[in-house]
């Protein structure tokens, strides 16, 4: 069974195996390619646009967004998860944590993207559009069913993937999935604080410039 599928049912085993093979000399080119493909799907799923639909804007947003997310996934996120993990007793090196990020966050996102791509092609641009209450999308019966199934699959797979990620990070750091959850909470809280501070600074700066 390939890593692509096995990581969903045995994340700790996969990470243990990949750390043995890739922690010493890491294939960063492969990691960046996987992270870019994952970023394309991630941006697509989170993309929202009001009508009229701009295919050029959509393509540009996905292309540039995937570049940013691939760099963050390969270089920044492993640093943060290694650092925060060490706060709760984690022993994983940066290389080991990077392996966990790639194979339990990046790779599963590609699997989810491939699985849901047929639904997106069937639903079309209505998958991405945000309508006002007075402008409901006109979907066929088949498209409505496809949208419902795609939404349920997204929820189920993202929850499952989150559990896989916690297990993988725990294996890299040598602790339980519960401690991985604590690390993720720390990461989320601190990131939110940083974003709020940056937003306030930008707002104040713009306000001063236009007074």
What's the pLDDT tens digit per position in 158-168? 999 999 999 99
> What is the domain range of residue 123?
3-209
Burial code (b: 16+ CB inside 10 Å, e: under 16) for 163-172 equals ebbbbbbbbb
pLDDT in tens, 85-132: 999 999 999 999 999 999 999 999 999 999 988 888 887 776 766 555
Number of domains in the chain: 1
- DSSP letter assigned to residue 53: P
The alpha carbons of the chain give a radius of gyration, in whole angstroms, of 19
Which tokens sit at 73?
Answer: 């996934």
* Burial (CB count within 10 angstroms: exposed 0-12, middle 13-18, buried 19+), residue 139: middle
């Amino acid at each position: 069974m390939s890593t692509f599928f096995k990581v969903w049912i045995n994340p700790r085993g996969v990470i243990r195996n990949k750390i043995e093979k890739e922690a010493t000399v890491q294939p960063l080119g492969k990691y960046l390619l996987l992270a870019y493909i994952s970023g394309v799907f991630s941006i697509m799923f989170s993309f929202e646009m009001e009508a009229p639909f701009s295919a050029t804007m959509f393509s540009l947003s996905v292309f540039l967004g995937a570049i940013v997310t691939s760099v963050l996934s390969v270089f920044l996120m492993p640093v943060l998860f290694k650092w925060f993990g060490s706060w709760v007793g984690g022993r994983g090196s940066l290389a080991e944590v990077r392996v966990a990020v790639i194979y339990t966050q990046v790779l599963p996102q590609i699997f989810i993207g491939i699985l849901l791509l047929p639904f997106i092609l069937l639903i079309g641009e209505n998958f991405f559009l945000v309508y006002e209450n007075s402008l409901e999308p006109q979907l066929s019966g088949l498209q409505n069913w496809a949208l419902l199934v795609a939404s349920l699959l997204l929820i189920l797979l993202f929850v499952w993937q989150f559990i896989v990620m916690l297990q993988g990070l725990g294996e890299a750091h040598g602790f339980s999935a519960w401690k991985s959850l604590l690390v993720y909470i720390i990461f989320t809280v601190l990131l939110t604080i940083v974003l709020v501070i940056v937003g306030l600074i930008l707002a104040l700066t713009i306000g001063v410039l236009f007074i």
